[in-house]
Structure 1
């Protein structure tokens, strides 16, 4: 039976690996085309309908690139579509959400001290929020606000701030920031699937039929692409945040996440301006640094949001707590791990427990049985560098206890 936990852990690793690979492909192509678009130059002798061109050198050769603002006069024989990078990134990301946060909802998604949710209801809120977010954003982009991109971006930022706060009122801190990232990434990928690609297909269909494509489709796609460009860096931060308790496990985690979106704007504004050749906005660097300093300060105010205070053991926890050998394992964990994984840290240099994992009470240890088994039993990942001197016999007790609990 223990093989299931090992296989599941490797499945989570494989999906995470896939998500990183596809994310690199999507973000890389997105950043490249934004830089290319901004770097286009109008020169004499451009073909009819061409908006600009750029020469690039890479891989030992030269590339001569021309962009048609609407479409060329005729359909080219070979046309490369950029879409699967986006789709695969979202699909693999949702698979990760299901594997880690839905399958492990009682540990990673739900915090009873925030809101006592049932697992099905918590998952329903998670999935519904992603869909509702896209519908709200899409309708705003189709409103008159589309004629005022700056106002639209400000409104989008305010929505993200509200969602950041809202998620922290429903889920655990870790899940809240992760969901804000998924909320934003869903908007970005849906932009590609529901707007950018369909508009490009309309233009291609017009070309094939001998019609002159309407430039409005390119304008609409450009607006959504611009939004994606400014949202990318914050999404990466939010996806990484689950590894850093100072980001997700503090009282003002929602405000930290909100300020990260502003950092994404300042960083992208700098590079977009440089690529366009319209200036050198060095002010963005001190502005970004100032925002980051504020974020660091916010992470030190108040205590952790995830207290995991001792409550009655759930049925799942009772299974592990009542299995023979639990007492010895609990003593081992408290002796070898709780100096760091505690509500009051005893280890020098730590402010909060790593990943807000507490291993002090029987409930703490029973609730984290699978993680203890994988991190300190099946592997030697914990304690880091075996700083507390966990013995092989102690690791074997953990394995035997977990196997017996699962088998029982």
Structure 2
């Protein structure tokens, strides 16, 4: 069982690595084309239908780029489509959601103090919410609001804030912000899959069959692409938030998320304006700084201790009971609190730590049984914890943690190592 635990952790690492790689590719190409589009110049003697051109230099070579608002007169022999970066990012992110939050639902997804859900119910809400968000957003875009882009953006912001608040009423703070990021990323990828790519295929087919393409398809795709541009930076923040309790574990985490979306607008407006006009609006620096200061202030609001109290009340499930009764557990309960509870406590007393890292508590025997796999991987198999071994955990103590976990594995079914 313990070998499976290691393999599962490496699988999670591999999928996370893939997710980061594909996200870099998607965001990089997205930002590049936004900058390219805004930097186009109208010059004499452009081909018929061309909107502008730009010369660029990179890697020792020169690139001459021309953009057609609708399409060129003739279909080129070769087209490069930018789509797989988006699809691969979403698919790898969905895999990460399943690995961390669905398989580990009892630890990372469900907060009994908010909603006493079964694992199946929590996973169903998690999956359904992503689809519902896209349907609402798509309906708004296809309504008459599509002709009022600024008002549509405001409605999208309201939708995102409502989802942030709603997720926080159901899931753990960590899962709430992560799901908000997944919710937003689903809208972005669905824009590519359901709108931008199909519209582009219509234009290509019209060219191939000798028809003049309708410019409305490009206009529709441009609206969705603009939304993706402004949503990218908040999604990155939300994906990183699970590492910082000050972001996800405060009373106003949903409001912090709302302000992050506004920061995404101010930051992207700065760069978009700079690419388009050659000069940047300096007011965006002040606006972004003010929003970030407000976020830091909100993070000092009362931390959500009620979820800790709920964990005290929740009885150990059958799997956790196996760890609590395994040979060596008594020894481990003497080791872990003394080496780890200065940080992983309901009221940490290590300077600079206000909330237990990743909300992992290691004060009581029940806490230790619930976090068995993490303790095994972080302090048994590896020396990741305590950081820099600041509490001087001995090798003998680490070995006792490994032995306890493996003793429990003898009584657990095959699948338990994956939890």
Unaligned runs of 5+ residues in structure 2 are: 412-419
Contact in 2 for aligned 1:42/1:52 (Cα 8 Å): yes
1:58 aligns with 2:58: yes
The equivalent residue for 1:96 is 96
Give CA deviations for 1:329-372 in whole Å, capped at 9, x if unaligned. 01111110001100111111211111121111222111100000
- Counterpart of 2:312 in structure 1 is 310
1:253 is aligned to 253
Return the alpha-carbon distance in structure 2 between the equivalents of residues 114 and 265 of structure 1: 31
1:157 aligns with 2:150: no
SS in structure 1 of the partner of residue 302 of structure 2? coil
Comparing 78-87 with 301-310, greater Cα deviation is found at 301-310
Report the equivalent of 1:25.
25
Residues 185-235 of structure 1 deviation map (CA, whole Å, 9 limit, x = unaligned): 000000000000000000000000000000000000000000000000000
Alignment of 1:173-252 (within 5 A): 173-252=173-252
CA distance in structure 1 between the aligned counterparts of 2:61 and 2:280, rounded to whole angstroms: 29
For normalisation by structure 2, the TM-score amounts to 0.96
Within 1, Cα distance between the matches of 2:81 and 2:267? 28
Q: What is the rounded CA distance, in whole Å, between the counterparts of 1:96 and 1:224 in structure 2?
A: 26
How far apart are residue 309 of structure 1 and its match? 3.4
Question: Matches of 1:199 and 1:349 in 2, distance apart?
Answer: 52
- Say whether 1:389 aligns with 2:389: no
Give, in whole Å, the separation in 2 of the partners of 1:106 and 1:179: 16
Pairwise CA RMSD of aligned residues? Answer: 0.9
In structure 2, the partner of 1:170 is 170
Q: Deviations over 1:242-269 (max 9, x none)?
A: 0000000111111001100000000000
2-side partners of 1:147 and 1:278: how far apart? Answer: 28
Distance 1:224 1:196 in 2: 7
Give 1:407 shift: 1.4
Structure 1: gaps spanning 5 or more residues: none
8 Å contact 1:310–1:361 — kept in the other structure?
Answer: no
Equivalent-residue separation in structure 2 for 1:100 and 1:363 (angstroms): 21
- 1:135-190 per-position Cα deviation (integer Å, ceiling 9, x unaligned): 00001000000000000000000000000000000000100000000000000000
Aligned to 2:383: 380
The 2-side partners of 1:406 and 1:219 are apart by 58
What's the TM-score, normalizing by structure 1? 0.99
User: Number of matched residues?
Assistant: 408
Consecutive aligned runs of 4 or more in structure 1 exceeding 2 Å deviation: none
- How far 1:278 sits from its partner (Å)? 6.5
The 1-side partners of 2:50 and 2:6 are apart by 56
What aligned pairs does 1:393-408 form with structure 2 within 5 A after superposition? 393-408=396-411
Task: Choose which of 320, 327, 333 in structure 1 pairs with 2:336.
Answer: 333
* Pairwise CA distance, 1:280: 2.3
* Aligned position for 1:7: 7
SS of the equivalent of 2:95 reads helix
